Structure 1
Amino acid sequence: MNKNARQYTVRFSATMVLYMAALFGSVHLLQSVEMAPVLRGAVALLPVLPGLAALWVVMVFYRSLDEFKQRMLAEAMIIAALLTGFASFAYGFLEGALDLPTIPLIWVFPVMIGLWGLAGCFQKYVVYR
């Protein structure tokens, strides 16, 4: 593992630890403490801060890669965004036609990130091997 990859792993792991702490802490506060609506909103958004830091860490790592690896990651993200967008678009039609349950929006980003990983694996082992 090269220096940039090690730095990325350490930094990303740290942001994920902070994210988990903010997530569990905010959920605990929201369930156990009575607050004004504005304060509840601020507490609910606490996990977004380390999430934004994680995005910064990803971008720093992306910029450290060579052009080919950047292209692979960018293409995988485009594929993931398109698949996520079209899946939510199609589900919206099915939701109305078949009276399916609404999927909470909080799942859109994790699905897109998961598809990014799958698209990256597909590219690495099938397209660019």
Structure 2
Amino acid sequence: MNHKQYLKELGLALLGYATLLIGSITWLNANATLASPWRDLIALSPMLPGALMVWVILRQLRRLDELQQRVQFEAFALAFAGTAFVTFSYGFLEGLGYPRLSMFVVWPLMAALWMLGLVLAARRYK
């Protein structure tokens, strides 16, 4: 499977995610009195195409050659360890009264560190 097919599959999964995200938020705002567990299931519904995104990405990673897999591994390692370091550090600061941060901050941090890791690893193997 080529790169265009991967982007097509990922794009469709992202479109499904965006559609369910907008739809679930709109529906929940219009039906504020909806009881659990239905409210919870609707709120989590965007994660169905989110799971599809995970599958598409993992499948693509398995198709990479050994060098590209190594570059991705090093980038993921930096993102994982760096995110743990930053979030634990900030956790200690929260104990001193710093404002609590939403879990939604973690993914952008991890993504930024992953991109940094890709740049560093790619440079290393040029």
Same fold (TM over 0.5): yes
Q: What is the CA–CA distance in structure 2 between the aligned matches of 1:32 and 1:118, rounded to whole Å?
A: 41
Which residue of the partner structure matches residue 125 of structure 2?
Answer: 128
CA distance in 2, matches of 1:121, 1:5: 20
Structure 1 match to 2:28 = 30
Is the 1:4–1:61 contact (alpha carbons within 8 Å) kept by the matching residues of 2?
no
Task: Measure the CA separation in 1 of the matches of 2:14 and 2:83.
Answer: 23
Hey, what does 2:101 align to over in structure 1? 103
Q: What is the aligned residue count? A: 125
| Partner SS for 1:37 | coil
Q: Distance in 1 between matches of 2:120 and 2:66?
A: 19
| Aligned AA (1:71) | R
Q: In the TM superposition, what is the alpha-carbon distance from 1:114 to its structure 2 partner?
A: 2.8
Q: State the partner residue of 1:59.
A: 58
C-alpha distance in 2 between matches for 1:107 and 1:47: 18
Are the counterparts in 2 of residues 12 and 58 from structure 1 also a CA contact under 8 Å? yes
Gaps of 5+ in 1: none
What CA distance in whole angstroms lies between the structure 2 residues aligned with 1:12 and 1:118? 22
> Are residue 13 (structure 1) and residue 39 (structure 2) matched?
no
After superposition, the CA RMSD in angstroms is 1.2
Deviating above 6 A after TM superposition, structure 1's stretches of 4 or more consecutive aligned residues are none
Distance in 1 between residues matched to 2:108 and 2:45, nearest whole Å: 18
TM-score by length of 2: 0.92
What is the identity, as a one-letter code, of the residue corresponding to 1:55?
A: V
Does the 8 Å contact 1:26/1:43 carry over to 2? yes
